[in-house]
Structure 1
Amino acid sequence: PFRVPKLTSLPSSLSTETPLKEGEDPVSSSDLASDPASSLFNHWGHDLGPESRRVALRKFRYYGYNGYLSDRISLSRPIPDLRPDGCRNISYSSDLPQLSVIFIFVNEALSVLLRSVHTAIQRTPPHLLKEIVLVDDHSSSLELKEHLQSFVDETNAQHGAGFIKVVRHDKQEGLIRSRVRGWRAASAPVVALFDAHVEFNTGWAEPILQRIKEDRTRVVSPSFDNIKYDTFEIEEYPLSAQGFDWELWCRYLNPPKSWWIQRNHTAPIRSPALIGCFVVDRKYFEEIGLLDEGMEIYGGENVELGIRVWQCGGSVEVLPCSRVAHIERAHKPYTENLTVHVRRNALRAAEVWMDQYKSHVYMAWNVPLQNSGIDIGDISERKALRTRLQCRPFSWFLSNIYPELRSYSNTVAYGVLKNSLRNDLCLDQGPETDNVPIMYLCHGMTPQVSGLMLM
């Protein structure tokens, strides 16, 4: 029988109110003073004593979410079924392909990681879940070595050797290359690549597998709901497509007009890009070029994948009948300066896939089109991939897939306007109430970055 492992609560070492073990948490002691004004305690924890608040704040600053509360929540808690009503009446093929669920993590809270695994096991039909692959991108946490391995051994004893595979990096590779490493370890016909801070909802897998069975060139995303980082309550998100701006930051979009006309909230939503977690035919993922391993750490790879799939003959969609809840962290774990990596990755994607529209990406990041000073690495293999796949131009993508993304023409200059008498003063947007431009000390942030255009 396909049973949930017995470890449905955390090891006692994680359930105490003592500080984390030495080596687990690099946050300095000077940062650990209880902070009543912290956003962590806005809606939670008012009845905690000073020591408990100190530990809770420490874990929050380390993980970017309320690890203290997570340690006290059941690993198999029920969550509300947020699927549109019609989803419950849909029938699926009896011969859907199996899938491998891949989780990528670095210094994740053990309770959050185990809850991701538990809900994948509980809420995926047993005959469809071939394996779970855990990719540890060089975590320093001792709990993610000792206790996690105990959990894996126990689970594999119940479900068969190799049901959970663990891949551990001896140096940090970043999210992008870690996902490719997880794909290489997987063996099912379909792979699902997820962050390790999610909770799967009822019936999440069947609608996705049905769509991929019908067309293997579909890359599919579930509809995401939010796990609030402070209270761990589930917040329903509206049905959305997934797009991006010219900096190639991903964003939620209203579904296209063609979807609304159908008056069917269970219908797939055409999506220009991917927020980050997705499901794909394992062999097609290789044929289309996996993720760009020349990108660094995190950011932009999901947008690049969406553009590439569309331009090279595939499609991307979001399924309302598949719901997965995801923690939106208060801060990211990989690096303090994520923007540097996202910018580099965005320029790399623009040079390969966006033709003359690459200038929009440079303008959005306020860097010169020529001699930007940013090393994007060797892109010859990615350009060769585009040629080999006989992909469409980016202008086709804008016209047919993402007409909502506004493009600009006749741009004569972009950047910051400095005062000629005092070069430490720049034109700024001014108070939002009257929107009158002002002179302000130059800081180079978005309110001072502007494009000059011929009208």
Structure 2
Amino acid sequence: MKNILFKRHWKPKQVRPRSTNPKRYSSQTHSFSGSGVRVQQKKAENFFRKFGYNVYLSKQLPLNRNRPRHARFHIRCLQKAYPTQLPSLGVILIFVNEALSIIEWAITSIINHTPSQLLKEIILVDDFSSNSKCPKKIKVYNQRYPGLLKIIWHTNQKCLAQAHNTGRKVAIADVIVILDAHVEVNIDGVRLQEAEPILAWIQEDHTMIVSPVFDNIHFDTFQLEKYALAVDGFIWELWCCYDPLPKDWIDLHNVTAPVKSPSIMGILAANRIFLGVIGSLGGGMLVYGGKNVELSLRVWQHHKPYALDLSLALKHNALRVAEIWMDEYKYVVYVAWNIPLQVCHGIEQKQGRTKKEKVVVMNTGIDFGDISSRMALRKKLKCKTFDWYLKNVYPNLKPIHNIVGYGRMKNTLDENICLAQGLVSANTSIMYYCHEYSTQNVYYHLTREFYVGPLIEEADPDDHCLTDPGNGEKPTLKPCSKVAQNRLHIYWDFKLGRAVMNKATKRCLEMKKDTLGIYVPVLQTCTTQVWTIQYTV
């Protein structure tokens, strides 16, 4: 975890320099008292105007100051074990016109809280600072750690992304961490190193781009403010924002697991060679902003994501359980995982008396291994059926018998986009670029409802049924169990490659471009638009 000092524009009332003697500073008046008051106040204000943070206070605080243990720290972190042989680590610090006290904070915290056998180098890149005294002071500071610090001065300002690339080109460590200079490494009050998990993940998969969680250092008081754990996203202006944690991560119930994130905030760790292969940071970027989003999109769209793809293994395991234990209900597992299947319906006769429908799910090509020994074990133990299990052990698990179509649903006007739950509200329907997440799952039932979103297995759920509210042109997604009492319309006539028409209102689900030129789903008089669904049963 990192702490980041966020700078602010000069506001005189926010200057809050502190003295080690509390009698010489008044927090109410934001001013000094005692001898030398005007000189000290003026000096503090000048520092604030120049740097955007309270340099006067930073000079008084110890470089190895104590940091509070945040609630984010978890005992499971201490229980983690990492390989004894890990890649070497290099840290790149970028600065321009930064206060020396802040740079010293960063260097000291990195050295104090990184295992010495892993920390190979700290590279300082000065992007043409106007402060001529700073390089001389850094040279003196470098004498304390001979061979560890490398200092590079640009002869003209090349801006943030290119300064990062300068540092990467001279680095020799296996893994590099790219930081701004106004950071502190936070170890949550214990001797817990944060280098090991980052290096272990990258050692396991060299294409990982890892971005640590960071908190806020207040620019005026240098107190720490904990930020809630979130993933990094961005808005259409390509400014960063925080998005909620994904449900699949929450469902892991493992606070030490990495979180997939669509973007990063600019602080990252990566395999040095891999980062060079994929083009490093965009050298054509000016000043700052956008470089982190560009790198994120490049990594996601042209290389595999930083977290290992476990989908095939999970499907293997799920189908193995289904094939061994779930009898005629196993096809629901195939549908829930959006796996193509072939279902054969037949009549099974038992002892010449009882007849029941038999459902046979054909193998779809996913290898779930040899299950013969497990099937033999089940027979030997005389295990009960899965139907018994549903009725007696888990009645809340709702079997779904009547799905006739499922998967991604597309309009032939543009087959690159799919019907989906809204990004903000699950009660809205949108057209969005097709992906494999469950918000684009669509299930068409024999009873003519469309469920949109994850397949909900529990009894009496709030399924999201595609609904014609009867007025307006926007289709909605409403809980199926509630729409009848509200006199909304959820039954649709649909055949593959044909229109989707509401049975009651006779309006069709179609799509059109809005004022921004983006396709949106609409309800209107039927034209010639037709839809497809990915799989049929």
Please give the range of the TM-score, normalised by the shorter of the 2 chains: 0.5 to 0.7
Query: Could you tell me which of 271, 280, 289 is aligned with 1:281?
Result: 271
Q: State the alpha-carbon separation in 2 of the partners of residues 277 and 297 from structure 1.
A: 16
Q: State the Cα distance separating 1:50 from its structure 2 match.
A: 3.1
Which residue type is aligned with residue 193 of structure 1? Answer: I
Q: State the alpha-carbon separation in 2 of the partners of residues 45 and 139 from structure 1.
A: 34
Q: State the alpha-carbon separation in 1 of the partners of residues 16 and 516 from structure 2.
A: 43
- The answer to whether structure 1 residue 196 and structure 2 residue 184 are counterparts is no
**3-state SS of paired residue (2:114):** coil
Q: State the alpha-carbon separation in 1 of the partners of residues 107 and 261 from structure 2.
A: 27
- Worse-matched range after superposition: 38-47 or 170-179: 38-47
Cα 1:234–1:401, aligned 2, differ >3 Å: closer, same or farther? farther
Assess if the C-alpha contact under 8 Å between 2:15 and 2:45 holds in 1: no
- The CA RMSD measured in Å over matched residues stands at 3.0
Query: Could you tell me which of 68, 76, 89 is aligned with 2:79?
Result: 89
- The answer to whether structure 1 residue 129 and structure 2 residue 119 are counterparts is yes
Which residue type is aligned with residue 515 of structure 2? Answer: V
Q: State the Cα distance separating 1:53 from its structure 2 match.
A: 2.2
Assess if the C-alpha contact under 8 Å between 1:44 and 1:230 holds in 2: no
Q: State the alpha-carbon separation in 2 of the partners of residues 198 and 89 from structure 1.
A: 27
- The answer to whether structure 1 residue 182 and structure 2 residue 172 are counterparts is no
- The answer to whether structure 1 residue 164 and structure 2 residue 149 are counterparts is yes
Q: State the alpha-carbon separation in 1 of the partners of residues 257 and 245 from structure 2.
A: 11
- The answer to whether structure 1 residue 143 and structure 2 residue 133 are counterparts is yes
Q: State the alpha-carbon separation in 1 of the partners of residues 167 and 202 from structure 2.
A: 20
Larger strand fraction of residues: 2
Which residue type is aligned with residue 173 of structure 1? Answer: K
Cα shift readout 1:166-218 (whole Å, capped 9, x = no counterpart): 01000000001000011001000100000101111231211111110111110
Query: Could you tell me which of 13, 30, 39 is aligned with 1:46?
Result: 30
Assess if the C-alpha contact under 8 Å between 2:15 and 2:44 holds in 1: no
Correspondence 1:51-450 to 2 at 5 A = 51-82=39-70, 83-156=73-146, 161=147, 163-202=148-187, 203-316=193-306, 395=433, 410-413=513-516
Q: State the Cα distance separating 1:40 from its structure 2 match.
A: 5.1
Cα 1:452–1:402, aligned 2, differ >3 Å: closer, same or farther? closer
**3-state SS of paired residue (2:213):** strand
Correspondence 1:16-31 to 2 at 5 A = none
For these two proteins, the number of residue pairs brought into alignment is 303
**3-state SS of paired residue (1:247):** coil
Q: State the Cα distance separating 1:39 from its structure 2 match.
A: 6.2
Q: State the alpha-carbon separation in 2 of the partners of residues 44 and 219 from structure 1.
A: 46
Assess if the C-alpha contact under 8 Å between 1:271 and 1:316 holds in 2: no
Q: State the Cα distance separating 1:68 from its structure 2 match.
A: 1.1
Q: State the alpha-carbon separation in 2 of the partners of residues 128 and 401 from structure 1.
A: 41
Q: State the Cα distance separating 1:153 from its structure 2 match.
A: 2.5
**3-state SS of paired residue (1:270):** coil
| TM-score, L = length of structure 1 | 0.61
Choose between structure 1 and 2 for higher RCO, CA contacts under 8 A separated by at least 6 residues. Answer: 1
Cα 1:140–1:68, aligned 2, differ >3 Å: closer, same or farther? same
Cα 1:272–1:306, aligned 2, differ >3 Å: closer, same or farther? same
Larger helix fraction of residues: 1
Unaligned residue ranges in structure 2 (runs of 5+): 1-8, 18-25, 188-192, 308-415, 418-431, 441-510, 523-537
Assess if the C-alpha contact under 8 Å between 1:227 and 1:234 holds in 2: yes
Cα 1:103–1:305, aligned 2, differ >3 Å: closer, same or farther? same
Unaligned residue ranges in structure 1 (runs of 5+): 1-30, 318-355, 358-393, 415-450
Q: State the alpha-carbon separation in 2 of the partners of residues 127 and 45 from structure 1.
A: 49
| TM-score, L = length of structure 2 | 0.52
Assess if the C-alpha contact under 8 Å between 1:180 and 1:290 holds in 2: yes
Assess if the C-alpha contact under 8 Å between 1:106 and 1:139 holds in 2: yes
Assess if the C-alpha contact under 8 Å between 2:15 and 2:48 holds in 1: no
Which residue type is aligned with residue 53 of structure 1? Answer: Q
**3-state SS of paired residue (1:144):** helix
Assess if the C-alpha contact under 8 Å between 2:126 and 2:153 holds in 1: yes
Poorly superposed stretches of 4+, deviation over 4 Å? 39-45, 398-403, 451-455
